[in-house]
Amino acid sequence: MNHAMPPDLAALNTRFAIPGRLRFMDCGAGLPMADIHTPLATARVALQGAQVLAWRPDGVAPVLWLSGAAVFAPGKAVRGGIPVCWPWFGDRPGQGQHGFVRTRLWELRHTSLDVHGQVHLSLGLQDDVATRALWDHAFDLELRVTVGTTLTLQLTTRNTGTQALTLTEALHTYFSVGDIRQTTVHGLDGTRYLDKLQGFAPSQQHGPVHFTGETDRVYTPTTADCVIDDADQKRRITLAKTGSQATVVWNPWVDKEKTMADMAPGGYQRMVCVETVNAAPHVITVAPGAQHSLGTTFSVAV
Ligand code: BG6
């Protein structure tokens, strides 16, 4: 739950718009998002969840997938783009899946245009009475987004309290692909994984990941780059990462999709999640006064 009122669009534009490059608009239900257009790329970033909703380098088809049935409403997770999962990844009985920051309103801290034509945004979130009721810790969380011919996200956790923080987290990216059956994910050959569909039974990857049914795997430990070979659209998306010990690969396929109200029928065929993660057993500990960063950069070759 988040009881904060979204900031006024006019106030956001007065303070943070970049003429001809970045302005704020409503992405639905009064929720603001930054709408970015530069000669290098277009992108959209919602303040709720600090969620990147879209990124498209100039001359390239959209790289991120957004569900045709996505719901934009206060406190509701949006299916697509890059949800930030924090301070836990996966299910926590009684508290829901993937933490609480993806449905909270973040504050916009900074926008700028650099000499290379890239747009930088910084969004932040701190603990308050509502977050302490869910997770009783003091923190400052910041997401820095760099929009250009590549897209970079850096999520920094600062421990502003007096107790050590332990957490898991993800930059839960939904990529747009032409056809999941013609898509492969490279970079995980030989890596061990926990298969959520088999009660987290351990297994090992041999060769690239192919998709022939529901897939839900936590590859760990791995710090490797991955490449999504989107054969149907004749392009390769490279994901590099920092501060991450796990990569999650997920596609719900036909039956699971039917259980998800915010998936349009057949949507699973056009998406794959390859997520930059820290998940159990590699839990992150942040000492009082210390910080930890999780980062990812995407680039596209056509
Ligand atoms: C993935 C998990 O990261 O997120 C899946 O591995 C889960 O098990 C998926 O179904 C989507 O989660 P949610 O909470 O956004 O529906």
Q: What is the DSSP letter of 232?
A: G
Instruction: State residue 6's pLDDT score.
Output: 84
Counting from 1 in the atom list of ligand 1, the atom nearest the Cα of 77 is 15
Domain count, the chain: 1
For the stretch 131-145, pLDDT in tens is 999 999 999 999 999
Domain annotation covers residue 222 = no
In which element (H, E) is residue 192 found? strand 192-195
Domain annotation covers residue 219 = no
Exposure letters 236-255 (e unless 16+ CB within 10 A, then b):
bbbbbbebbbbbbbbbbbee
Domain annotation covers residue 216 = no
Confidence of residue 1 (pLDDT cuts 50, 70, 90): very low
Domain annotation covers residue 209 = no
Domain annotation covers residue 233 = no
What is the CA(252)–ligand 1 centre distance, in A?
9
Establish how many alpha carbons lie within 13 A of residue 63's alpha carbon, considering only the half-sphere containing its beta carbon: 32
Query: Among 65, 85, 97, which residue has the most ligand 1 atoms within 8 Å of its CB, making it the best to mutate?
Result: 97
**Pocket of ligand 1 contains residue 172 by CB under 6 Å:** yes
Counting from 1 in the atom list of ligand 1, the atom nearest the Cα of 170 is 3
Domain annotation covers residue 51 = yes
For the stretch 164-201, pLDDT in tens is 999 999 999 999 999 999 999 999 999 999 999 999 99
Per-residue pLDDT, averaged over 85-101, amounts to 95
Task: State the pTM of this model.
Answer: 0.98
Confidence of residue 4 (pLDDT cuts 50, 70, 90): confident
Domain annotation covers residue 165 = yes
**Pocket of ligand 1 contains residue 137 by CB under 6 Å:** no
**Active-site annotation holder among 142, 169, 257, 275:** 275
| Average pLDDT value for the chain | 97
Q: Which domain holds residue 160?
A: 9-179+242-301
Sign of CA dihedral 28, 33, 37, 40: negative
Domain annotation covers residue 214 = no
**How far apart, in whole angstroms, are the C-alpha atoms of residue 173 and residue 170?**
9
Instruction: State residue 206's pLDDT score.
Output: 98
CATH of the domain at 55: 2.70.98.10
**How far apart, in whole angstroms, are the C-alpha atoms of residue 191 and residue 189?**
6
**How far apart, in whole angstroms, are the C-alpha atoms of residue 243 and residue 295?**
6
